[in-house]
């Protein structure tokens, strides 16, 4: 299923925080106040890098990738509710900033009550979203009290890298279950 976002545009500005996590360009998206900037701050504390807060500018590169960057006036700044505007370069050092990055994944944060249906237990809530006419994988993450969104974001990025490299944990799990049911390798009846 594909969700239209910025379909067939060569350039678009999207609301969210663009951050580099384990080498992936990740847009933290969601409605205002859901916790995007707080998650970005936690990711910076874990050694990841900020590209843009609030308004990330994207354009389709000649090679087909969608590349994001920060508007110059916002570069290096992160606004966090309760703390105000922070300068990431001065707080974490200039290596915590990056000028641009290809968009590999969208993590959409959802407040409790945004969904009435439970997520797919094997695949979660995954879709592709069109950005500049290019499908970008999107994962929806529920925001709940007491959970570590940073750990979930890092796990989502590691899983996305595995998927990009050809491994799908859900497919592997289902395959093992089917082998067990059939009694392959002496497992099952």
Ordered by start, the domain boundaries in the chain are: 2-147
Q: Which CATH architecture has domain 2-147?
A: 3-Layer(aba) Sandwich (3.40)
Q: Specify the 3-state DSSP secondary structure of 112.
A: coil
| Whole-number Å distance between alpha carbons of 46 and 7 | 33
Q: How far apart are CA 48 and CA 96, in angstroms?
A: 7
Specify the pTM. Answer: 0.87
For the question of residue 121 being annotated catalytic, the response is yes
Instruction: Determine the pLDDT at residue 113.
Output: 72
Query: 63, 117, 121, 165: which one is catalytic?
Result: 121
Write the pLDDT tens digit of every residue in 6-44: 455 689 999 999 999 999 999 999 999 899 999 999 999
Q: Is 139 exposed, middle or buried (0-12, 13-18, 19+ CB in 10 A)?
A: buried
pLDDT of residue 5: 46
Query: Active site residue: 48, 49, 53, 54, which one?
Result: 54
CA distances from 86 to 19, 37, 75, 89, 146 (A): 15, 11, 11, 9, 25
Q: How far is CA 91 from CA 87, 96, 166, in A?
A: 6, 9, 38
Question: Over 90: is that where the pLDDT of 80 sits?
Answer: yes
Average pLDDT, integer, range 73-98:
95
- What is the distance between the alpha carbons of residues 114 and 101, in angstroms, rounded to a whole number? 30
Mark whether 15 is an active-site residue.
Answer: yes
Higher pLDDT, 175 or 123: 175
Could you give the 3-state DSSP secondary structure of residue 106? strand
The active-site residue, picked from 15, 31, 123, 182, is 15
- Looking at residue 3, its pLDDT comes to 42
């Amino acid at each position: 299923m594909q969700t239209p976002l910025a379909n067939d545009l060569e350039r678009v500005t999207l609301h969210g925080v663009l951050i580099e996590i384990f080498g992936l360009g990740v847009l933290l998206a969601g409605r205002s106040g859901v916790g995007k900037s707080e998650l970005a701050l936690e990711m910076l504390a874990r050694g990841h890098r900020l590209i843009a807060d609030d308004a990330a500018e994207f354009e389709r590169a000649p090679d087909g990738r969608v590349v994001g960057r920060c508007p110059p006036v916002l570069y290096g700044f992160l606004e966090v509710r309760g703390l105000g505007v922070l300068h990431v370069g001065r707080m974490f050092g200039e290596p915590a900033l990056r000028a641009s990055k290809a968009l590999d994944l969208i993590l959409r944060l959802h407040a409790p009550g945004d969904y009435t249906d439970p997520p797919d237990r094997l695949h979660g809530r995954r879709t592709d979203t069109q950005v500049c006419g290019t499908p970008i994988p999107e994962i929806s993450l529920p925001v709940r009290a007491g959970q570590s969104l940073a750990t979930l974001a890092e796990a989502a990025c590691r899983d996305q890298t595995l998927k990009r490299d050809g491994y799908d944990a859900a497919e592997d799990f289902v395959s093992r279950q089917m082998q067990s049911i059939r009694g392959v390798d002496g497992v099952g009846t």
